[in-house]
């Protein structure tokens, strides 16, 4: 039997993650999934635990100061055309038991499993324009907005072919939702200005990976322009 052994081939690149992302994004030969005719805007965890560093500095993050304004414009444009807008939040029961293994690594006031229903951490950021009479709003327990939630059946009912993922964090719940979206056969779009993370390296490294494998990472203006063509 021939014994094969190879040296590591993993590329080592000491450039900042942002620089690598910008190089990948600028590649004119990069193919796209493109946008379809029925978009859903899925706004992931636009809640105070993650958007209000003035209240929760240990868990919140800001990448683009206008992130929520961008999200609101996309949501309003989709809503005006009768396309679905979805908002998710993370929260857990009083003992945090429904966080499962995910909730076992730490147990501090800032820990994930200690986001309780109805708490200030659970509350949507007051800047977010959530229309509870029209939009689908639900709580989730795990990173992906698809995991054990009504999202998939809702998108099927509304004949959606494209999922636009916004919110946070880029390296966590946004990424998980985008991967699940592609896995379910949806064209998946991540508007760069609409997602955020705690650390620049995590943010841009995951945008690069999403761009290379799972989604089109585009300027928010491109999504707005596409929605305008569907009106």
**For helices 200-209 and 17-25, angle between their N-to-C axes, nearest 10 degrees:** 30
* Cα(112)–Cα(121) distance, integer angstroms: 10
Q: Using DSSP, how many helices (H) and how many strands (E) does the chain show?
A: 7, 7
Q: DSSP readout, 12-52?
A: ---S-HHHHHHHHHT-TT-------SSEEEEEE--BHHHH-
Q: Are 140 and 90 in contact (CB under 8 A)?
A: yes
* Cα(140)–Cα(71) distance, integer angstroms: 20
Secondary structure of residue 161 in the 3-state scheme: coil
Query: Rg of the chain's alpha carbons, rounded to an integer?
Result: 18
91 tagged catalytic: no
Catalytic residue among 91, 132, 173, 194: 173
Which residues participate in catalysis according to the annotation? 173
């Amino acid at each position: 039997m021939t014994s094969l052994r190879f040296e590591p081939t993993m590329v080592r690149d000491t450039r900042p993650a942002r620089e690598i992302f910008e190089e990948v994004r600028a590649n004119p030969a990069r193919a796209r999934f493109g946008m379809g005719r029925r978009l859903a805007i899925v706004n992931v965890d636009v809640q105070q635990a993650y958007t209000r560093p003035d209240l929760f500095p240990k868990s919140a993050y800001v990448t683009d100061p206008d992130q929520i304004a961008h999200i609101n414009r996309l949501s309003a444009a989709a809503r005006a055309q009768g396309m679905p807008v979805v908002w998710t939040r993370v929260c857990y029961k009083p003992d945090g038991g429904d966080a499962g293994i995910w909730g076992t690594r730490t147990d501090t006031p800032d820990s994930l499993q200690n986001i309780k229903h109805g708490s200030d951490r659970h509350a949507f950021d007051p800047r977010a324009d959530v229309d509870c009479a029209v939009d689908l709003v639900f709580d989730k327990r795990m990173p992906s907005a698809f995991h054990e939630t009504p999202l998939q059946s809702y998108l099927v009912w509304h004949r959606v072919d494209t999922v636009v993922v916004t919110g946070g964090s880029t390296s966590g719940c946004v990424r998980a939702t985008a991967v699940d979206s592609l896995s379910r056969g949806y064209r998946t779009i991540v508007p760069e200005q609409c997602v955020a993370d705690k650390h620049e390296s995590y943010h841009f490294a995951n945008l690069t990976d999403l761009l290379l494998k799972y989604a089109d990472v585009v300027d928010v203006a491109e999504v707005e322009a596409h929605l305008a063509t569907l009106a």
